[in-house]
Structure 1
Amino acid sequence: MSGAAIFAQTGPASGLEVMPTGAALGAEVRGVDLRALGEAEFAAILDAWHVHAVLLFRGQSLTPDELIAFSRRFGALDHAPVQEHGQSIVAGRPELYIVSNVVDDAGKPIGSLGNGEAVWHTDMSYLPRPPKASMLYALEIPPAGGDTHFASMYAAYESLPPALRARAQGLMVKHDGTYNSGGFVRAGVTPTDDPRTAPGHLHPLVCRHPATGRSMLYLGRRRMAYIDGLGLGESEALLDELWSYATKPALCWKNAWRVGDLVLWDNRCTMHRRDPFDAAARRVMHRTQVRGEAPPMA
C-alpha cells in the first residue's frame, strides 16, 4: 500500500486528508472535527474505512453524547456488554462501554479490563451477529504501555500457503463466550476445560466481507476456540497453524495512544490486542460498537 496522502475533496474549505500508515492496514484521518462532520466528509471517511479497515483521528474533543452521535452514523449501536464485575451500562448511556483500570472512592472499578494484557481478539464474536465496527476514544492514558495493536485478517488469509487456505474453506469455528480479552470469566458464565462444550457460536473460518467482497480469516480469539467436526487434537493443531500466520508483525499496525485519539476499526476483518501497563497509572477509554447487520458469511 502506498504511503502517499489521499485527499478527499469534500468542498472548497475541506482539509480532510487520509494518510495510510504504510502497514498492512490503518490510516490517519487529518483535518476533521468529528463533532461537525458534513455528509461529503463522512462519505470520504466511510470509503477510507473500507479501504484501510482501521482509522485514527487525533486531537478530538468528544463528550460521551458526541461520541455516540458520531458512532450512530455507521449504524445502530449495540448496548455495552456486562463487565466482568457485573456492571453493565453507564447510567443513561447504555451504548457506552468504559475500558479502564481506575476505581472510584468506594473501591469499585469504573470500567473493565484492568491494566493487564488484552490478548488478540475480535469484539464479541461469540454472538450470532457480532458488531461490525468498534470505536475507542482516549480520555486518560498511562505514560507508557497500553498501546493497541491491529492485525489484518485480509492479509492473514492471503498469507496462508495454498494447501492451508484450501483446507480452511468450508470449516466452522466456535467463538468462545467464556472469557473476555483480559482473561476474565464473563458474568454469569461457568468455565469448562473442553472447548467443544463451552458457550459460544459457530462462524465460518473463512468469510467474505459484505462491503468489499474480500475474503478473510475470522478467528475471534484463540483461547477455547474449536473447529466444528474435528477431533479436539486435530482442531487444536489446525488452529495453532492458522494463528501462526494470523498475527505476524508484517500484518499488524500499532497505535501509541494520545489523549484525544479516536480509533475506528472494522470488527469483521481485523483483530486487536492491548499491551499491559503500570497498575498505578490511569487509563480511561470510552468504547462504542456498531451493531452487525448480518452474521459473518462464507
Structure 2
Amino acid sequence: MTAATTGASAATGDEAALDAREINPRIGTEIRADKVTLLSGDHAATLRDLLEQRGVLVFPQIGFTDDEQVAFTETLGTLATERKGEKLYNVTLDKTVNKQADYLKGSLYWHLDGTMNEVPILASLLSSKALGNEGEGDTEFCNTYAAYDDLSDEDKAAFEELRVVHSTWTTLLYYEPEPSLEMLQQMMSIGERELPLVWRHRSGRKSLVLGCTAGHVVGMDRGKSIELLVRLREWATQPQFVYRHTWSVGDLVIWDNTGTMHRATPYDPASGRLLQRTKLAGEESFA
C-alpha cells in the first residue's frame, strides 16, 4: 500500500481530517477516520468524489453497527432498500442465514449489479461481520473506467456503438452448467436487457459494461461475440486494474457499481463468512 495522499480534506477546528491513501495506482483508496467524522456527513462530497475517481474505498476495521452503517450510507445519497424493504442484506452462501443464498452463487464471477434494471445502483457498502476459512472469501474489484481508458484508439472506435444482451440466466450457466428446465425457466422469467458495451457517463467519462450477465454482442457472429467478451473481461481484470480485499472483522468497503466489476473468491458456505450490505440508489441510466 502506498503512502500517497489523495483528495483528503483539511481539518478545521475540532474537525478531524480524512486520511486518504491510494492502495493501487489505478484503483482503491484507504480511508482512515473515526466514526464521528464519517457519520457527520461533513465529508460526504469528498468521499463521493473519491469513489467516482478511485472506484473502491476501504475503511479498515471501522466497526460500524447495523444502524451506523445505514446512517453512514444515507450521508452519501439515497439508501436503496431490498425487495421487501429491508435496509440491510446478509451476504453469505449459508442457507440457514440467507434463504436466497443460491442466487448469490453468481457473485463468484465478475459482474456489476443491476444489469436487469433501467437504473443500476450507484454503489454498494459491505461490512464484515464474520470471517470464513483462512484464504477464502476475499472480494476482488476491477476499474472499468481505467480499463476503457487504456484501450487503443482503434478498439475504442470499434466498440463505441456495440450493444450487448445481458441476462440473469446467462450467469446461471456459470455455476449450474446443466440446470433443470424449471430452474432455467425461472431465471429466464427475469428477462434480459440490451446494454451498451461502452457506457457514456454524464461526467463525460466512459466505462466498459461487462461481466457474467453478458450473453452476446448484438449483430455479431456467436463465436466472435464470445471471443470479444472474454477478451475484454481478461483485459479489464488485469492486475493493474484490480484490487483484492482480504477481510478483517469490522472492515467496510464501498465500490462504485457504475465503474467497477466485482466478485467474491470461492469459500465454503458452512465457513461462517458473513458480510452485510447496504446500497446507494442509482442516479444514472445506462447510456
Question: Which TM-score applies when normalising by structure 2?
Answer: 0.84
1:72 to 71, 74, 86: 74
1:214 has 2:205 as partner: yes
**Counterpart contact for 2:26–2:143, Cα < 8 Å:** yes
Which residue matches 1:37?
A: 39
Q: Which amino acid aligns with 2:261?
A: M
The partner residue of 2:194 within 194, 198, 202 is: 202
Answer with 224-233 or 15-24: which moved more: 224-233
Is 2:112 the partner of 1:112? Answer: no
Deviations 1:203-239 (A, max 9, x none): 21111233x42111111x2355221222323322221
- Kept in 1: contact 2:22–2:29 (CA 8 A): yes
Contact 2:166–2:213 at 8 Å: present in 1 too?
no
**Alpha carbons of structure 1 residues 99 and 246: separation in structure 2 relative to 1, 3 Å:** same
Shift of 1:145: 1.2
Relative to structure 1, the CA distance from residue 158 to residue 231 in structure 2 (aligned partners, 3 Å threshold; closer, same or farther) is same
Residue equivalent to 1:54: 56
2:192 paired with 1:191:
no
Opposite residue 141 of structure 1, the aligned amino acid is L
Question: How far 1:135 sits from its partner (Å)?
Answer: 1.0
Q: CA offset at residue 165 of structure 1?
A: 1.9
Does the Cα contact within 8 Å between 2:128 and 2:274 map onto a contact in 1?
yes
Counterpart position of 1:121: 111
1:4 and 2:19 equivalent? no
CA distance in structure 1 between the aligned counterparts of 2:47 and 2:125, rounded to whole angstroms: 14
Q: CA deviation at 1:20?
A: 0.7
Preserved contact between residue 10 and residue 41 of structure 1 (Cα < 8 Å): no
Determine the structure 2 residue equivalent to 1:246: 236
Aligned residue in 1 for 2:65: 63
Provide the C-alpha distance between the structure 1 equivalents of 2:214 and 2:195, rounded to a whole number of angstroms.
14
Over 3 Å counting, the alpha-carbon distance change for 1:242 and 1:145 in structure 2 is same
8 Å Cα contact 1:25-1:151 kept in structure 2: yes
Residue equivalent to 1:97: 89
Kept in 2, the 8 Å contact 1:27–1:54? The answer is yes
Shift of 1:95: 2.8
Deviates more, 1:108-117 or 1:166-175: 108-117
Higher helix share: 2
Q: How many residue pairs align between the two structures?
A: 277
User: 1:160 and 1:36, CA in 2 relative to 1: closer, same or farther beyond 3 A?
Assistant: closer
CA drift at 1:243:
1.9
Inter-partner Cα distance in structure 2 for 1:168 and 1:258 = 39
Alpha-carbon shift at residue 184 of structure 1 (Å) = 6.6
Letter in 2 for 1:207: W
Counterparts of 2:214 and 2:38 in 1: how far apart (Å)? 43
Residue 123 of structure 1, CA deviation: 1.1
**Consecutive unaligned residues in structure 1, runs of 5 or more:** 82-88
Q: Check conservation: 1:23, 1:253, Cα contact below 8 A.
A: no
Partners of 1:232 and 1:172 in 2: CA distance: 14
Give the corresponding residue for 1:84.
none
Instruction: Say if 1:244 and 1:116 are closer, same or farther in 2 by CA, change over 3 A.
Output: closer
Identity of aligned residues (%): 29
Matched, 1:230 2:220: yes
Superposed CA RMSD: 3.1
Aligned to 1:169: 160
CA contact (8 A) 1:141 1:284 kept: yes
Q: Report if the CA contact (8 A) 2:164-2:214 is conserved.
A: no
Q: Distance in 1 between matches of 2:231 and 2:66?
A: 41
> Is 1:98–1:110's contact at 8 Å kept on the other side of the alignment?
no
For residues 283 and 155 of structure 1, the distance between their equivalents in structure 2, rounded to whole angstroms, comes to 31
Q: Which amino acid aligns with 1:167?
A: A
Deviations 1:34-55 (A, max 9, x none): 6853343222222221221110
Alignment-derived partner of residue 148 in structure 2: 157
The corresponding residue for 1:296 is 286
- Judge conservation of contact 1:121–1:272 (CA < 8 Å) in 2: yes
Shift of 1:80: 2.3
Aligned-partner residue type, residue 19 of structure 1: R
Gap regions ≥5 residues in structure 2: none
Secondary structure in structure 1 of the residue aligned to 2:156? helix
- Alpha-carbon shift at residue 9 of structure 1 (Å): 1.1
TM-fit CA distance, 1:118: 0.6
